[in-house]
């Protein structure tokens, strides 16, 4: 199979080992069955390098509703603060 995988680990210079696609012994998918993974290449010295290199961790997911709720609360408090200031300054 053609691949761009490096033949030696760019991190530590050890051999790169091909790991065929398979089924995880430890991870399960959302249905509770063993999670499948694609083939990959990993450093034999287990320095942590693997190919394809992991892409950036996906952005954390925000709870949109909670975020909006928080903005609302901030807005309310700003309004209160503004009206207090107006009272204090006699405007
Ligand atoms: Zn390595």
Structure tokens at 68: 């909006």
Going from the Cα of 19 to the center of ligand 1, the distance in angstroms, rounded, reads: 15
Gap from CA of 47 to ligand 1 centroid (Å) = 4
pLDDT tier at 39 (50, 70, 90 boundaries)?
Answer: very high
The predicted model gives 30-56 an average pLDDT of: 89
DSSP H/E element including 67: helix 64-89
The model's pLDDT over 3-16, given as tens digits with 9 standing for 90+, comes to 788 999 999 999 99
Does the structure show a pLDDT above 90 at 62?
no
Specify the higher pLDDT residue, 62 or 63: 63
44 burial type by CB count under 10 A (0-12 exposed, 13-18 middle, 19+ buried): middle
CA of 2 to the centre of ligand 1 (A): 21
Q: How far is the CA of 41 from the centre of ligand 1 (A)?
A: 11
Query: How far, in Å, is the centroid of ligand 1 from the Cα of 61?
Result: 32
Q: Check if the beta carbon of residue 28 is closer than 8 Å to that of residue 37.
A: no
Name which of 17, 11, 18 is nearest 49 in CA terms. Answer: 11
């Amino acid at each position: 199979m053609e691949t761009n995988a490096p033949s030696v680990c760019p991190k530590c210079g050890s051999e790169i080992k091909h790991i065929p696609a398979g089924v995880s012994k430890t991870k399960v998918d959302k249905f509770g069955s063993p999670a499948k993974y694609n083939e990959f290449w990993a450093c034999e010295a287990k320095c942590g390098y693997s190919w394809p290199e992991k892409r950036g961790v996906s952005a954390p997911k925000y709870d949109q509703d909670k975020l909006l709720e928080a903005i609302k609360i901030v807005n309310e408090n700003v309004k209160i603060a503004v009206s207090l200031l107006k009272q204090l300054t006699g405007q």
